[in-house]
Structure 1
Amino acid sequence: TYNPGVSSFLIQQAYIGMKYRMIFISAGCRELTDEVVNFELSSGGLVWSGNTRPIPQVRAGFIDFVDIPFTKGWVQIKGELAYGKFMDNDFLRDHYNYYNQYITTDALYHHKSISFRSNPDKPFVVTIGAELAAQFGGTKRYYKEGVLIDSLTMKSPTRLKDFFKILFPSSGDGQSNKGDQAYYYGNHVGQWNLSAEYRFKNNSSVRGYFEWYYDDASGMGKFNGWDGLWGLEYKSGKKNWLSNVVLEYLDMTNQSGPLNWCPSDYNDPKLDIEATGADDYYNNYFYNGWAHYGLSNGTAMAKSLLYNTDGYMRYKHNRIRGVHLGASGYIAPEWKYKILASYRTSWGTTFLPLADTQHDMSGLIECVYSPIKLSGWSFSASLAGDWGELYGDKWGVAIGIRKSGILTIGK
């Protein structure tokens, strides 16, 4: 079973890669972030936030934005494609409550994104894009009162053609489970995104952005109201007392409405009108919640599976609203600070609503000392805490020492 203890040694990043001109390919575990938001100060992207451990994968794409031919630099493109594997089987087996329906292991991972950007040399720059990630493959096992029900075990196929089905979303065939046959093979999560930035002559800038999350076709068509992440960012362009500020609003309460009814799911239905709601963000009928090692792959504002004390491997708090503030700056040339503060309200889920709303306030204060005389070295101290019903009243202190670059001993 998965029982790391306090002395475990875990490799966070290990990868290799190569590039040719503007094309790259890499393989292994690497920390990745959402390119729309400010990774240091944001509450995190809605599809991939960097909140959890990296998923080992093979990735290929453009290193950065490149000019689209015949546009004379006015339109640029960037994109990537990846396949990988979730590595948290032991974690799931150890944390799962075997009286709770099902658990899915050996799931594979897929990700793709594409973005277009206007001329970055101009004061006003617009970026628009789309991102889609998926779980596929894996084996789903049902347990009843701690006993495996073999007859209900389902294995999702991972043939070569299934890799194309996940690349170009389409329905599963006769070897897939009934849900994949009726809808799409695998579990897909995605977002539309847009950002607009204006740079002033003094090198400061203001940027507005949003991410419109979707969990199925109804959300993709933006039938989920104001759901999404909405943000504003200010950069001073200098190392002064307020170098960067981020303000965000997150809404995940609409979920395309409270009802889901598909007449084709039933024989001789009395109601033939379709209602594609109750999206149940980050949850799926075949897979565990959209997480890795129990932590949310998407926004950390949604309470991760790791905090479920009853071993339930799905999200209990995905209908949420929240606000987030992040700021950083320099007290002195060698001293940098960071402040994060988040407030959220949860209604539970569409299928497991709370009797009353639950709230949480989270905060962090961090100070980093980077002495000029010790190149590459930095020393940090931070204080963080939670207050409210979602996580309880907790706080902690962290002290860190970091060395970047080549470590040499002697001359």
Structure 2
Amino acid sequence: MKKLISLFLALCSGIAFLNALEIEIQNQSIASSEIVPLWIEANRYGSVLMDTTLQSHVRSRIRWDTSFFNGALRWSTEGSGSVGFSEAFNPLVTMDTLYTAFQYGLWEFRGGWFQETLGEVFEPLSSGSMAISSNARPMPRIEFRLTDWYTLPWSWTEGLIAIKGGIQHGWFEPNNYVDNVWLHAKWAYLRLGTEQQHIFGGLVHLAQWGGKGSWEGKDFDIPFTFHNWWQTFVAGGGVEGQTEIEKYNASGNHLGIWDLGTKITISDFELSAYYQHFFEDKASLDIWSNGLDGLFGLHVKTPPEVPFLRHVLIEKVITTDQSGPIEEIIMSDSTKINIYGGDSYYFNYLYKTGWSYLGRILGTPLITGTGSGEDFRVNNNRIEALHIGGLMEVGTVTIRALYTYTKRFPAYSEQSLVSYTTWAEKLDYRNHKDRWDGYLGISFPLGPFTILGEVAGGYDQIFGWNWGSSMTVGYRTTF
């Protein structure tokens, strides 16, 4: 089989040969309360429905790698899709990934629908990056990046300086309240030290920009031009076709993280500490006007001689400052508008569905929204959360456990999950609604198959109890 495929590709290209062909098939069945538990549905690239008590998903994935010029250039292609069934037995066919990539050394160009997170966290246990997590389905993007840290080859650096980065252009879903909305993403990191002992710092800058729509009865049409793209790149204003209010701020919806961290090794224990300082709009990007809002994390990887326990993680998420009280400015026609302060993370006055894709938050899933399609709105973005995770190995059995406690405060956006009647009540830290979420997953091989059993549940002071279980059977083979 492999020889036939290799021969076919060689005949097509004359210079290529197949390195690997990977095929994966799995079935997941879920039973839950009307509200699916957080860690059954979150951070799974939108593959699990959020409001269905019985659901089953059959997924398939195929990937092949081809190399050219004696392996100097690699071409990879991957596609995956699923068929889901709810209790009404209505089939839902979705495409999960479909992309192609060309890689030369650490440099890679790829385009299509691919799964990727932005922000340095330990993904198997983390609550999710504040920038782009694994919570939403992949959107179509083109990307140029370094696939890993690149150690500078200059002799004077002694191998102690490394960099990585990348840039993306993407397309949000059609009819997103504003049509033809684009994604701009870029990131740049610097690491000082060795792989086992280092500090690092980086910037992840994200933006929703462009589009055609209306605001307060006035139409706008921001076309794709180099000038408009460059103003988005530098978080500037003054773009063609923009609304009046954008002249006083960066054009588009700008957000991202300053990503800082360190890693040290002590007696074979690897300790990683990180801080993602979240910013929304140019003011909090430039001068950190929103306090310490962001994600704090500590991850410990144990040495092999420690029995069972392999990873421990603890995170603290804070998004309550949001640049403080709202301030007013006076427009050219003497009207007053609110523009500074009250950043209202992931929400945007112009792109009303906010930092989401197909009804899923693109960043941390601890911030949530309600509604669907054009009616989706972020309504829960002022939170304090404690998140704990552990990963254990007992023989061939892997055990993953998560616990999250979240305080939710009234939001600055047009909708709020936690109600309030006055501005003072909105700022009162005694006015919050809490939720507790737990999860346990156990996976093990069974012949050529992998079995994953999961249980999760929690209590929400607004929505009450939730519970759920999942069973996944997967098979993967490589030619």
Q: TM-score, normalised by structure 2?
A: 0.72
Distance in 2, Cα, partners of 1:40 & 1:390:
28
1:139-176 Cα offsets, whole Å, 9 max, x none, are 3357xxxxxx9x54433322233222222221133521
- Aligned to 1:10, what secondary structure does the other structure show? strand
Distance in 1, Cα, partners of 2:240 & 2:185:
25
Which residue number corresponds to residue 135 of structure 1?
208
Contact 1:225 1:256 in 2 (8 A): yes
Matched, 1:81 2:167: yes
Distance in 2, Cα, partners of 1:75 & 1:188:
29
Contact 1:360 1:391 in 2 (8 A): no
Distance in 2, Cα, partners of 1:40 & 1:228:
19
- The aligned length equals 374
1:55-102 Cα offsets, whole Å, 9 max, x none, are 11001021211123442311111000000111364xx6xxxxxxxxxx
Which residue number corresponds to residue 226 of structure 1?
292
Which residue number corresponds to residue 95 of structure 1?
none
Return the offset for 1:402: 2.1
Pair 387,188 (structure 1): closer, same or farther in 2 beyond 3 Å = same
Question: Taking CA–CA contacts closer than 8 Å with sequence separation of 6 or more, which of the two structures ends up with the larger relative contact order?
Answer: 2
Unpaired runs of 5+ residues, structure 1, are: 93-102, 143-148
Unpaired runs of 5+ residues, structure 2, are: 1-83, 421-430
Matches within 5 A, 1:342-353: 342-351=404-413
Pair 268,293 (structure 1): closer, same or farther in 2 beyond 3 Å = closer
Matched, 1:112 2:186: yes
Contact 1:174 1:181 in 2 (8 A): no
Distance in 2, Cα, partners of 1:137 & 1:218:
21
Which residue number corresponds to residue 396 of structure 1?
468
Which residue number corresponds to residue 454 of structure 2?
382
Which residue number corresponds to residue 23 of structure 1?
107
Choose which of 179, 183, 198 in structure 2 pairs with 1:125.
198
Instruction: Give the letter aligned to residue 126 of structure 2.
Output: S
Matched, 1:33 2:117: yes
CA RMSD of aligned residues (A): 2.6
Decide which structure has greater strand share. 2
Stretch deviating more after TM superposition (170-179 or 72-81)? 170-179
Identity across the alignment (%): 22
- Aligned to 2:179, what secondary structure does the other structure show? strand
Pair 270,164 (structure 1): closer, same or farther in 2 beyond 3 Å = closer
- Aligned to 2:376, what secondary structure does the other structure show? coil
Matched, 1:319 2:405: no
Return the offset for 1:315: 1.2
Instruction: Give the letter aligned to residue 369 of structure 1.
Output: F
Which residue number corresponds to residue 158 of structure 2?
72
Contact 1:50 1:297 in 2 (8 A): yes
Return the offset for 1:260: 2.4
Pair 340,52 (structure 1): closer, same or farther in 2 beyond 3 Å = same
Distance in 2, Cα, partners of 1:65 & 1:245:
24
Distance in 1, Cα, partners of 2:211 & 2:263:
42
Which residue number corresponds to residue 283 of structure 1?
347
Matched, 1:250 2:314: no
Distance in 1, Cα, partners of 2:364 & 2:220:
29
Instruction: Give the letter aligned to residue 251 of structure 1.
Output: I
Stretch deviating more after TM superposition (24-33 or 274-283)? 274-283
Matched, 1:207 2:281: no
Q: TM-score, normalised by structure 1?
A: 0.84
Matched, 1:192 2:289: no
Pair 132,29 (structure 1): closer, same or farther in 2 beyond 3 Å = same
Which residue number corresponds to residue 216 of structure 1?
281
